[in-house]
Structure 1
Amino acid sequence: MLFFDAEAPISVLVSQELSPAAKVMLVCLYADKEDAEIYADDTIYTPACLALRTGLSRPTVNAALQELEDKGWYISPFSDEGGTIAIRPLPHPQITLPGALLAEKEVNALGKVVYGLIQTHPDFKHPSGIFSYYTLGKQLKVSTRKLETAFSQLVQTGWLKIDDASNMDKVQFTLCRPRVFPDFNTLDMVKRGLKVQGVNGKNLMHYYLSIIVDYDEGLLNAQLNFLLNPFTDELMRYDIYYSKFAVAIDCAEPTECIGTSPYTPLISIEEAERAMKATISKIKGISYIEITLDDLCYEKMLEKVRGHLPLREDVTKYKPSLNYLDKKSRSYAKSMAYLMRK
């Protein structure tokens, strides 16, 4: 799911032809479309997805789409007119509405419209300006009470700060962007990646690290010339190596064990190699971190790398991805535990 900041034409926002819900819907439909065509298989434009993007209920979304269709702004992709959505070219000038505000359920459609309109006042200098209840009411043909409700919702959700409301015709305000909206792009990337690459400890670990660590240049499957297995004369690999911070990380998944001799305990080849890599890493001044299946959850992964690698200050927007990884990790750990018992 994608959430775009949207260019909202001023003439659409002030239009008395469309309801506030239809205006919000039109802005979202056109948010990322330069060619004014949307195909029927673009799932981002289904009513369910549009409800998420606009913060409106499904019935309101359907009613707004019908209104746009009735007034010639929209052709359903399931109609008999070619299977595309044709949107009337949007006029300029435009102002930007944050995608997170458009998706805000606690702000009604009118609130989203007036958030854009108050930026068109001649005295507006980002992020502050003034607006008039009388002027807005006249432009939109709505009552002062409805406007007060809309502005109250903007204030309560942190999108707007009213600096001085003593004069209803000269209300001083400051725009705010209070929320980090969930990053569903990353969630889609994680889901697609695990579907293609397969769910295993190594892949789960990589995706956790890509979110937790504030550094994108870790070397995957790093084969370094000093990482030599003395018994086979073959180079070993780190699952991921951060050369800038001298940190190497391996995923220690359970594997079938072999006996090195009748007198030694069973040990897997992978365990033996990790022991050698740990020793070599210590000699080379590299922090070597092993991640077990029990470590594959956000909190434990965070503790494992804390103090070794730079961490993202705020991962709030990645919560959907982290929750998904936690769920997949629990399921994978259970399946591996079952296989090891057999």
Structure 2
Amino acid sequence: MSFVIRPSREDDLEHLYEMAKLTGGGFTNLPADRDALNGKLEKSAKAFANTEDALTDETFLLVLENTETGAVRGTCQLMTQVGQQWPFYSYRLNTLTQYSQELDRTVRAEMLHLVTDLEGCSEVGGLFLHPNERAGGLGLLLARSRYLFIAMHRARFAERVLAELRGIIDDRGGSPFWDGVAGRFFGMTFQEADYFNAINGNQFIADLMPKHPVYVAMLDDDAREVIGLPHPTGRAAMKMLENEGFRFEGYVDIFDGGPTMLARTDDVVSVADANPLTLGSAALDSGERALLATGHLTDFRCCYGTRSVDGDSIAIDPAGAETLRVGEGDTVWSVAK
């Protein structure tokens, strides 16, 4: 069975909608709403059609396709410059240290500050793999294909890149962090606020969110204990991000308190290690397992394959060449699996 990462198309709508219904909430980039998803597909199509190598506010949506059946079984997204259409809000976790000479006591208080520090960064997000396909490293293929895409279209992305991980969601689909912080001011459940944000954007946060710092010690235990923690299903994704060079720098999501991971774009391992090579042979029978990619914008394709690199030349296996639709003399990018 073979899978390929390719740009999204308009006819992927129903596939995306069916996957969106499986996310379980807290997944703003993949809302279970056909109109919103269609809007994402239209914005992605516009980004792929733009041939100018300049940094603007764009969204590229990629999908994982089973090449034998044509079924879409996963998706991921790249946002080139966040915070342009409306502010990109985060909570920044800081510590305030105070000392009383009379008591000879030092008190350290953790506080959450509402900030827009990450405005202008690129973002990798929207990664979802169908539950029936969570084997064989397909999640890793989805995740790392984004970095190859960035390397191959570097001028379209910012100097820093972030990734937001979904926070802790309880069995009812609620968020202890939301209930303990923002939910007190909005009169909305987490699910209602999350859905509204996915469909309408987060201007309502700017309108209603209190601007003063929140003292963590004043939150209830349930809210306090989940700050900066990923959802259990996101722990592997967090580890993958750390392996790529992303780090948690105290920024958390304003809805569910999940961690935001940051990296300098050029320092991301799969961006730094990716280089264009000329395909010398498409008949390799053994070699190193790798992610292989080719194409520009709408012609982008990425898959697993076998490679052997010799200087500026690369040899790959026949199946990889068929999936990428490349032949001798074509350009192939790759990173080790």
Q: Return the index of the structure with the highest Cα Rg.
A: 1
Report the structure, 1 or 2, having the larger helix content: 1
Task: Tell me which of the two structures has the higher relative contact order, counting C-alpha pairs closer than 8 angstroms and 6 or more residues apart.
Answer: 2
- Report the TM-score when normalising by structure 2: 0.24
- Report the TM-score when normalising by structure 1: 0.24
Report the structure, 1 or 2, having the larger strand content: 2
